[in-house]
Structure 1
């Protein structure tokens, strides 16, 4: 309504300054009231919202940095674990090779020892057999000599006597 008077007054050629001043004062009062009761709280809420969003962004960045740090730490631990596992495998392989070589060396030494012992045993048995054979030959020779001395033999009797003693010696064995 006021604007209707303003427009009418302006159109009619006369300007109503009282209405303009009144409307201007009212507009300024309205602006002051809006500033005090609406704009201040609204800006406070907007400021709180801005701070809240900024804090959320900072918290999200901090969480992301912590996640990246944890991820790098996990990667580092995984890499160390892989290196440690590789080292353990390599050490086990080396230890296995060392043990294998020791077993082979021990087996070869044992084989040589058994071979030497067998050679010594064979030599001992050979010497015993030769000694026994000498003793038998000596006793047979003495026996034959005593029989020959007891009686004079012709060639047939002598051969028969030798064959008998050889057969007798074979039976004693």
Structure 2
């Protein structure tokens, strides 16, 4: 009874084969039209979408590969830059050390030169002072001798006496 109700419909009492055939024909026609006009374009769109997704996956994979290559290149460039920076720092340290040594050597040389110059000046001043003292001693000696002798000594005698006194003072030294 349930089967009759489903097949015949609500309120129908007998099975109508013409309606079944018409429904089947319309269904088949509808399927044909759907396949021809909707299924083909729909499948084309689905294939295009599949190809688009596949190409985007390929592009993403290429981009990832390129990114990895660029990352490795950047790492190597960074390592090279660090090595170069270290080399520059080492060179600057060596140059600084050489400059320091050069400055220290120049300072020592200048100090020695100034010391030698000062020693020479001291020797010269000492010799001048000794010569002045000798002159003074000679003058005093001549003055004392002239007072002792009670007379003035001539210029020639004075000069000879000075030379003799200087020679004796030089020997006493």
Q: TM-score, normalised by structure 2?
A: 0.65
Deviation at 1:27, TM superposition (A): 8.5
Counterpart Cα distance in 1 of 2:34 and 2:123:
129
The separation in 2 between residues aligned to 1:44 and 1:33, in whole angstroms, is 16
Aligned residue pairs total: 139
Match of residue 98 from structure 1: 98
CA distance in structure 2 between the aligned counterparts of 1:88 and 1:136, rounded to whole angstroms: 70
Q: How does 1:23-38 map to 2 (within 5 A)?
A: 33-38=33-38
Distance in 2, Cα, partners of 1:26 & 1:130: 149
Q: Distance in 1 between matches of 2:93 and 2:49?
A: 65
- Give the whole-Å Cα distance in 1 for the aligned partners of 2:28 and 2:76: 67
Q: Which runs of 5+ in 1 are unaligned?
A: 5-22, 152-173
Q: Secondary structure at the match of 2:81?
A: helix
Q: What does residue 45 of structure 1 align with? A: 45
Cα RMSD after superposing both structures:
3.2
CA deviation profile, 1:5-50 (whole Å, cap 9, x unmatched)? xxxxxxxxxxxxxxxxxx9999887765554334322321221111
Aligned to 2:133: 133
Which deviates more, 78-87 or 31-40?
A: 31-40
Measure, in 2, the Cα distance between the counterparts of 1:37 and 1:112.
110
Q: Where does residue 55 of structure 1 map in the other structure?
A: 55
Q: Deviations over 1:48-70 (max 9, x none)?
A: 11101111101111221232233
Q: Which residue of 2 aligns with 1:114?
A: 114
Q: Give 1:73 shift.
A: 2.7
What's the TM-score once normalised by structure 1's chain length? Answer: 0.65
Q: CA–CA distance in 2 between the matches of 1:34 and 1:123?
A: 128
Structure 2 stretches lacking a partner, 5+ long? 8-22, 152-173
Q: Deviations over 1:108-165 (max 9, x none)?
A: 00011011001101110111111111111111111111111119xxxxxxxxxxxxxx
Runs in 1 of length 4+ with deviation above 6 angstroms? 23-31
